[in-house]
């Protein structure tokens, strides 16, 4: 258990050991919930932090991505009403 200080502006510094354990670096968003035991603070993951979490057998080369971008730029606007 760690003891922290709550500043007059309501700010709390999460101890370094806990930040490292949860991979919190620099400025980071979190969610706060009321619980029967007190306050629960959970790190909020952004979209880009999930990048490696979905497994796929699809392999795309730089050339594949370039062609897909070209198709999107030329074909997608024609499909709009």
Give tens-digit pLDDT for 49-60.
Answer: 666 666 777 788
Tell me the Ramachandran region of residue 21: left when phi exceeds 0, alpha when psi lies from -120 to 50, beta otherwise.
alpha
State the pTM of this model.
0.49
Q: Is 10 part of a structural domain of the chain?
A: no
pLDDT of residue 30: 87
Residue 8 located in a structural domain? no
pLDDT at residue 36 is higher than 80: yes
Q: Tell me the HSE value of 48 on the side-chain side, using a 13 A CA sphere.
A: 1
Domain extent, residue 64, equals 16-79
Could you tell me if residue 66 is inside a domain? Answer: yes
Number of domains in the chain: 1
Contact 22, 43 (CB under 8 A): yes
- Kindly report the number of other CB atoms within 10 A of residue 5's CB atom: 7
- The DSSP letter of residue 54 is S
Higher pLDDT, 6 or 60: 6
Considering the domain boundaries, does residue 22 fall inside one? yes
Provide, rounded to the nearest whole percent, the portion of the chain with pLDDT above 70.
84
Res. 44 pLDDT band, cuts 50 70 90: confident
């Amino acid at each position: 258990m760690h003891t922290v200080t709550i500043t007059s502006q309501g700010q709390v510094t999460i101890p370094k050991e806990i930040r490292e354990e949860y991979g919190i670096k620099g400025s980071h968003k979190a969610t706060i919930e009321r619980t029967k035991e007190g306050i629960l603070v959970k790190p909020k993951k952004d979209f880009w932090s999930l990048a490696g979490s979905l497994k796929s057998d699809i392999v795309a080369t730089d050339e594949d991505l370039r062609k897909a971008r070209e198709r999107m730029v030329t074909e997608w606007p024609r499909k709009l009403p």
